[in-house]
Amino acid sequence: MIADKMEAYVTGSSLIRAMFEESKKMAAKYGADNVFDFSLGNPFFAPPAEVKASIEKYLAYPDQVYVHGYMNNSGYPEVREKIAASLNRRFDTQYAGGNLFMTVGAAGGLNTILKVLVGAGEEVVAFAPYFGEYGNYAANVDARLIVVPPSPPTFEPNLEAFEGMVTAKTKIVIVNTPNNPTGVIYSADVLGRLADILRRKQREFGTDIYLISDEPYRELVYTGKEVPWIPNLYENAIVGYSYSKSLSLPGERIGYVVVPDCVSDSERILQAANVMTRTLGYVNAPSLMQLVAADCVDVPVDVSNYRKNRDLLYGGLTDIGYRCVEPDGAFYLFLESPIPDDVEFSARAKDFQLAIVPGKVFGCDGWIRLAYCTSYDKVERSLPKFKELWESVK
Amino acid sequence: MIADKMEAYVTGSSLIRAMFEESKKMAAKYGADNVFDFSLGNPFFAPPAEVKASIEKYLAYPDQVYVHGYMNNSGYPEVREKIAASLNRRFDTQYAGGNLFMTVGAAGGLNTILKVLVGAGEEVVAFAPYFGEYGNYAANVDARLIVVPPSPPTFEPNLEAFEGMVTAKTKIVIVNTPNNPTGVIYSADVLGRLADILRRKQREFGTDIYLISDEPYRELVYTGKEVPWIPNLYENAIVGYSYSKSLSLPGERIGYVVVPDCVSDSERILQAANVMTRTLGYVNAPSLMQLVAADCVDVPVDVSNYRKNRDLLYGGLTDIGYRCVEPDGAFYLFLESPIPDDVEFSARAKDFQLAIVPGKVFGCDGWIRLAYCTSYDKVERSLPKFKELWESVK
């Protein structure tokens, strides 16, 4: 007998899993080449050449115990220092290596920081549309996820609604920018006002409210729009990062968390994180990939392929008549379902060999997410299918 | 403010951490070469040549998205099939790839399986001396760790005490063989009687009691003694494995869990584990290292260096007068503290440049663990220090 709580998890995960299974079934029926899978956020492009060069370097390194062995649970000190130095150059900050801990991807980092900060019954706030796993991460620490309703068409954080939803139990607020699923980059103006609200609420309740910035898509930007460095806008901000997208290494599980000195109780947080990575079973981020990440810390991210896909898809869908959010970053496009029920619309899309994800999964009914981290050819050939789908519901 | 629960974790971890810190301080004082660190279970020897060859093979593999990308959260199907086939050859079993899920080391596997099986308030039983982290893993799922007292000098599971400690709330019993910290291999006879007790208790309470075998040291064996394959002795047995020790890859975080078909509710357990690896933030075991593990699945483990250390250390300490458990496997030696207080004895050892771990950490007061995964030279030069230490307390 599995634990009672598990039943809800397994059932809750079924919508996305059903999509994977459907995509496989469609591939069997129509041939993989004739299925247009926009469901998965799995980078389609290989890692940059620097990744291979770095691995080769470490394969030739004399001390293989260093390369594959245990280190401090928070990561190799020299890796953390190199990443801190890169952040300092980019964001005009003064972090030391000790302000960072290396993590098993962004998900491992978020789970660790939630475990460190959030007690049972406390509240974690997210802005819809949001990455659906946040609800499960909150449940892992017996916290409640409070979801702020979406604000179409900009899909910036809905601050009016947010202000009324912060309570004395609010421990963490999560933002994700560039955003999954909308591709929107939150503006410095809105984030600044969000910070003002948090400061006001901290004073009102006499609490610390931590703003966690989950930013695996930081470098995937297509417009001139700047991605603000959130710790420069708010004192109690913690940043979670992953190399999954920027270095196309999602399977390798490598990322980090930054806890600046100005964060309330930062020293205790970093100490506790060092213990919790072990206690939660991650122990440390994979060793070789830590070293690779440090070597590649300033490798420019080539977004040209994603940009081509984005331009083609956004242009093509808009021409057909779909109402889309123009993505500034990430590799997602958010479009309004032409019929009110997004789950129903996703189901109908399968008849046209299209695998797409309903907005319901992200707490945003009536919308659809497309992940365009696929081949240009697939995007091109999908457009007639999206047109047929459009005509079938109009 | 960190979560209340964290305080206990951070404080609880201080004994081992203090040992690390002390070891560093000693190195600064006496020079690293003159400090004899027996505190850490970090393999001292490099991975076998096959690991490097496998990584090189995959660096040249045309599809780098396959090598570094997402796969099914439970791991590459072909990796799991290859490991299952190897287990079937070795243990006369009939596992399919689907009976396994790949994990972020043994610790990631144990945490996942506990999350899947154990509800709040249920009980997890471990036999002292036990790997201290089990208590934290149980706390992660709000379970109680029930510790069965040790049974020196054999340090096999204390079945008499155990029988009275199994209750209707017992969900999991953990065994770890070859054992950390004693090096003892549990015999088929004792494990068979343990299985009989569990069957009887299952009938008595109408419950399922899962036996989890944590066996990262399976191949590190120095005597002719066989390490029983526990699922062949008990129906509700689940095995957690890690390549940390056998392939000297502790920093890479790669292992697996086997849930045989005969395990009660096995299909639901494997389904839930597939969701939980994601939800707990592991997502999947590191991709490249999964592929490497599959390539190296039948690489013989060279224990010759550990064996030399073991023979020298056991012989030398026994000659001095220490009462030691002769290790059958793993790379630990357990010795009786010559003074009743093992924490005090560990503290005194520092005066002789010896870093050793008190048995208290493993729920076994009055004993000491030495990790002999170090150089032969260090073991050799440590013996006069152990003699001086012995004389200082006699």
Last residue of a domain, one of A241, A275, A295: A295
Q: Are residues A90 and A158 in the same domain?
A: yes
CA A109 – CA A100 distance, rounded (Å): 11
* In chain B, residues 82-121 whose CB comes closer than 8 Å to chain A: 104-105, 107-112, 115-119
Contact A107 B268 (CB under 8 A): no
Domain range enclosing B342: 4-47+302-393
Q: Are residues A35 and A54 in the same domain?
A: no
Which helix or strand (DSSP H or E) is residue B10 part of?
helix B4-12
Cβ atoms of residues B155 and B178 within 8 Å: no
Last residue of a domain, one of A232, A262, A295: A295
> Which of A2, A122, A252 is facing B68, going by the closest CB pair?
A252
CB pairs under 8 A between A and B: 227
Residue A15: its pLDDT value, please? 67
Contact A64 B47 (CB under 8 A): yes
CATH assignment of the domain containing A306: 3.90.1150.10
Pairing of strands B357-358, B100-103: unpaired
Q: Are residues A167 and A270 in the same domain?
A: yes
CATH assignment of the domain containing A181: 3.40.640.10
Is B85 contained in some domain? Answer: yes
Look at residue A14 and tell me whether its pLDDT is greater than 60: no
* Top-confidence range, A24-28, A89-93, A298-302: A89-93
Residue B1: its pLDDT value, please? 73
Q: Are residues A308 and A234 in the same domain?
A: no
pLDDT tens-digit map of A220-250 = 999 989 999 999 999 999 999 999 999 999 9
Contact A116 B6 (CB under 8 A): yes
Residue B369: its pLDDT value, please? 96
Helix axes A4-12, B266-279, angle to 10 degrees: 70
**Exposure class string for A356-368: b at 16+ Cβ within 10 A, else e:** bbbbbbbbbbbbb
> Which of A9, A250, A289 is facing B69, going by the closest CB pair?
A250
User: How many CA within 13 A on the CB side of residue B174?
Assistant: 34
Q: Are residues B319 and B240 in the same domain?
A: no
pLDDT tens-digit map of A178-218 = 999 999 999 999 999 999 999 999 999 999 999 999 999 99
Residue A19: its pLDDT value, please? 72
Mean pLDDT, residues A50-72 taken together: 96
Q: Are residues A353 and A229 in the same domain?
A: no
Q: Are residues B216 and B328 in the same domain?
A: no
Confidence of residue B232 (pLDDT cuts 50, 70, 90): very high
Look at residue B14 and tell me whether its pLDDT is greater than 60: no
**Exposure class string for A82-103: b at 16+ Cβ within 10 A, else e:** bbbbebeeeeebebebbbbbbb
Q: Which residues contact B80 (CB under 8 A, 6 or more apart)?
A: B74, B97, B98, B99, B100, B101, B102, B256
Q: Are residues A338 and A203 in the same domain?
A: no
Percentage of chain B modeled with pLDDT above 70 = 98
Average pLDDT, chain B: 95
Is B19 contained in some domain? Answer: yes
ipTM given for this complex: 0.95
Contact B284 A1 (CB under 8 A): no
Q: Are residues B136 and B21 in the same domain?
A: no
pLDDT tens-digit map of B36-91 = 999 887 787 899 999 999 999 999 999 999 999 999 999 999 999 999 999 999 99
Contact A68 B44 (CB under 8 A): no
Q: Are residues A225 and A374 in the same domain?
A: no
The alpha helices in chain A, defined as continuous H runs, are 4-12, 14-30, 49-59, 64-68, 77-91, 105-117, 133-140, 159-165, 188-205, 266-279, 287-295, 304-320, 342-349, 376-393
For chain A, state the CA radius of gyration: 21
Residue B22: its pLDDT value, please? 79
Look at residue B11 and tell me whether its pLDDT is greater than 90: no
Mean pLDDT, residues B2-11 taken together: 76
Is B307 contained in some domain? Answer: yes
Contacts 24+ apart (CB under 8 A), A376-380: A376/A305, A376/A308, A376/A309, A376/A312, A378/A36, A378/A37, A379/A309, A379/A312, A379/A313, A379/A316, A380/A312
Last residue of a domain, one of B295, B316, B345: B295
Partners of residue B3 in chain A, C-beta under 8 Å: 115-119, 122, 141
Q: Report the residue of chain B nearest A132, measured CA to CA.
A: B279
Q: Does B276 touch chain A (CB under 8 A)?
A: yes
pLDDT tens-digit map of A361-390 = 999 999 999 999 999 999 999 999 999 999
Q: Are residues A329 and A285 in the same domain?
A: no
Is B55 contained in some domain? Answer: no
Give chain B's domain count. Answer: 2
Q: Are residues B75 and B140 in the same domain?
A: yes
